[in-house]
Amino acid sequence: MKLHEIFGIKDRFQKFRTDRETVPVPPRTNLYHATLAHNWSSIKSQGLIPGGVCQLYDACDENYVYLADNAGIATAVLGSSDLPKTELDKSGGQGVLLLIDSTQLKPESLSADPGIPAVWTDPKYTYRYQGTIPASAIIDHKDFTLDHGYYLNKQFKHLKPGNPGKA
C-alpha cells in the first residue's frame, strides 16, 4: 500500500483545491463594486441597479450587478473594459470603488461570476447579484483614476473588505 493511499493525501488535496475554487455564498467578507464616477450620484439615491455599465459593453449580463471580494479585481474589471470614450469623458477618467455590506444581500440572488473563475492557488472571488443592491448597503466609497495599465489594481492592494456587515 502506498503512503498517499494510507494518509489520503490525494483526496485531501483535491478537497482543499475544490474548496478554494468554490465561491462561498453567502460571502465571508464584504464585497466591492467599481463604477464610473458620474454614476455615483444616482447610485447614492437608487442603489446599484442591474445592467448599469453593462449596457455599454459586452463583458457582462444586463441582469446582474457584479461584485468582488478584492478591490483590485473590481477596479481592474472596470479599468480593462472597452468603455466608450464618451463615458470615460463624462467621468473625467475617474471611477468610484464601493464597499458593499454583504449581509444586506439576498444569498439566493448571489452566484459565482462565470467570467472570472476562482483560481485555487490565490482565491479571489467574484459574484453576480441578480437584483438591485440598496444604497443603504454601501458602507464606504473611494475615488480613483481609471488607468488601463498594470498598476490600476495595485493601488488597492492594502484594502481589505472586512467581515460581513457594517464596519
Q: What is the CATH number of the domain that holds 16?
A: 3.20.170.30
**Does the residue 25 lie in any domain?**
yes
Q: Could you tell me the residue range of the domain that residue 21 belongs to?
A: 3-156
Spatial separation of the C-alpha atoms in residues 86 and 107, rounded to whole Å: 36
**Does the residue 167 lie in any domain?**
no
**Does the residue 107 lie in any domain?**
yes
Spatial separation of the C-alpha atoms in residues 40 and 162, rounded to whole Å: 22
Residue 58's pLDDT is what? Answer: 60
Contact 71, 161 (CB under 8 A): yes
Question: Residue 70: pLDDT above 80?
Answer: yes
* Per-residue model confidence as pLDDT tens digits over 105-129: 999 999 888 887 777 667 788 898 9
**Does the residue 165 lie in any domain?**
no
Spatial separation of the C-alpha atoms in residues 28 and 158, rounded to whole Å: 18
- CA 9 to each of CA 13, 15, 16, 103, 120: distance values in angstroms, whole numbers, following the listed order: 6, 10, 10, 36, 17
Residue 46's pLDDT is what? Answer: 93
**Does the residue 36 lie in any domain?**
yes
pLDDT bin (cut points 50, 70, 90) of residue 138 is very high
**Does the residue 118 lie in any domain?**
yes
* Per-residue model confidence as pLDDT tens digits over 140-163: 999 988 766 555 666 677 677 878
